[in-house]
Amino acid sequence: MADADMPPPDGKGDSDPKVDNDSTNDIPEEQRKEAEEMKEKANEFFKRQDYNQAITFYTRAIELNPEVAAYYGNRSFAHLRTESFGLALQDAAKALAIDRGYIKAYYRRASANMALGKFKVALKDFEAVAKIRPNDKDAKAKFNECKKIVRMQDFQKAIAVEDNHKSVADSIDVQSLSIEDDYTGPRFENGGVTLEFVKDLMQTFKDQKKLHRKYAYEVLLIVKKVFEGQPSLVDITVPPEEKFTICGDIHGQYYDLLNIFELNGLPSQENPYLFNGDFVDRGSFSVECILVLFCFKLLYPKHFFMARGNHESMTMNQMYGFEGESQMADLFTEIFNLLPLCHCINNKILVMHGGLFRDDAVTLNDLRKIDRNRQPPESGLMCELLWSDPQPVCGTGDSKRGVGTMFGPDVTKKFLQRNKLDYIVRSHEVKQEGFEVTHDGKCITVFSAPNYCDTMGNKGAFITIKGNDLTPKFTSFDAVVRD
């Protein structure tokens, strides 16, 4: 379910609670009026897609008048847009505690639960809304969409057998797939992926044409074997004077991926790259992005690296559309399960998609031992590597996303000292300039999907370092404008 389809924030006239509550009467009229003004300012920021500012002003409205369900409901919606699913759930619950009949709070709570993969819980809320508003087409569509996912999960569980360790890849007979005479797209040369094949593939996708499924299957089957041979933590050595590039989230934004290669050069043995997760979902060209990246991995297995992100999972793919782009969903899932979880560069820089850990005694050896060949769990080291976020205050806390951990500058400092590292690089969060340096320069975020979801207005960025100078250099870039 795309949250763009959800009802807009409540406007004027929708903010009064629909239950008897005398506590609001204790608030002076002038203060209630000021709260409404804060809400209207927040709504304007929301319309301009400045969700952080919207959250700030919804919060001010709540502080002035904490007994209005719509204030919490609107802030919940803004938290959904910033992917703070845990905070969205909290605000939806507060709204419903004030007014059990406040329909939009059920939408918010259901959307947050869907984003966290809790489809059966979300289904109950969508069902309630559909019953209350039987003529609401949007409510009915969301209910049916969620029900479809729940039924699919139940079906997959029902047909599971003890022999479920068998790989989907083993059942694919590539040789039986024939290539039609009128196919004019890229073809393997000398039985495999070459640089010319990848260049042809990139242009084919740029022209919004397709790769024949025989070649797509072959790429996936070969790259699966490559990732099978890699550990959960991959060590990378960058020689002195050589450049190394780290990219963050791509999210199916294929034309922006091509722009990175225009700005920074194609991957090669002399121009190595690390893509730090979330290659798919949200954008319209997930399959195109992932196949091009996989091909570069096959071309340069020791100079092109890919880490798993939280969106390389079955739940995220069901939510945000990647699964629907390809009939190869099960094979993609098997490959995603094999992607390394983190990389260590020159024994000094640890790179992961999400962040650090609630446990303050984690070592690199602990990360090497993670059994990653599975769907991400809801807690533990693997979960935190994929989902955690930094916070400005010291210590750890519950994640704003509802999964993972918030970690402060003291946590980062201790982790680096314990493991003799200089700094960490992570992705996972939209940043206005495409990057952000926090925790006294020891925690760097890089995000490479500009104008995320075609709404955020942010720049993308990538990081370059030299083997003998690990000081990060940042390049920001705007989204590609297409006709």
**Whole-number Å distance between alpha carbons of 203 and 185:** 10
Domain spans in the chain, listed from the N-terminal domain onward: 3-158, 174-477
Cα 339–chain centre separation: 15
**Whole-number Å distance between alpha carbons of 45 and 147:** 33
Interval 254-272 mean pLDDT: 97
Interval 229-257 mean pLDDT: 96
Q: Residue 160 has which token pair?
A: 């599971």
pLDDT tier, 133 (very low <50, low <70, confident <90, very high otherwise): confident
pLDDT tier, 327 (very low <50, low <70, confident <90, very high otherwise): low
Q: How many CA atoms lie within 13 A of 262 on its CB side?
A: 12
Residue 256, classed as helix, strand or coil, is helix
**Whole-number Å distance between alpha carbons of 285 and 205:** 9
Cα 472–chain centre separation: 23
Cβ contact 233:368 at 8 Å: yes
Cβ contact 74:45 at 8 Å: no
Which of 311, 343, 428, 439 is catalytic? The answer is: 311
Residue 423, classed as helix, strand or coil, is strand
Q: Does 311 participate in catalysis according to the annotation?
A: yes
Interval 30-39 mean pLDDT: 96
**CB pairs under 8 A, 24+ apart, for 223-230?**
223/294, 223/297, 223/298, 223/335, 224/169, 224/331, 224/334, 224/335, 224/338, 226/297, 226/298, 226/301, 227/335, 227/338, 227/339, 227/340, 228/338, 230/338, 230/340
pLDDT digits (tens, 9 = 90+) for 154-174: 776 666 554 456 787 888 888
Q: Residue 378 has which token pair?
A: 């809801």
Higher pLDDT, 131 or 473: 473
Interval 307-323 mean pLDDT: 68
Choose which CATH entry (3.30.1550.10, 3.60.21.10, 3.40.1210.10, 3.40.710.10) describes domain 174-477: 3.60.21.10
pLDDT of 17:
34
One-character DSSP codes across 35-53: HHHHHHHHHHHHHTT-HHH
Q: Which CATH class is domain 3-158?
A: mainly alpha
Q: Give the rounded percent of residues in the chain with a pLDDT score beyond 70.
A: 89
pLDDT digits (tens, 9 = 90+) for 411-437: 999 999 999 999 999 999 999 999 999
Task: Classify residue 180 as exposed, middle or buried by CB count within 10 Å of its CB (0-12, 13-18, 19+).
Answer: exposed
Cβ contact 158:151 at 8 Å: no
Q: What is the pTM of this model?
A: 0.83
**Whole-number Å distance between alpha carbons of 118 and 121:** 6
pLDDT of 177:
87
**Listed residue (20, 12, 53, 88) closest to 399, CA to CA:** 88
pLDDT of 236:
98
Average pLDDT value for the chain: 89
Question: Interhelix angle for 29-47 vs 51-64, to 10°?
Answer: 170
**Whole-number Å distance between alpha carbons of 465 and 196:** 28
DSSP H helical ranges for 134-173: 137-159
Query: Phi and psi of 342, rounded to 5°?
Result: -165, 165
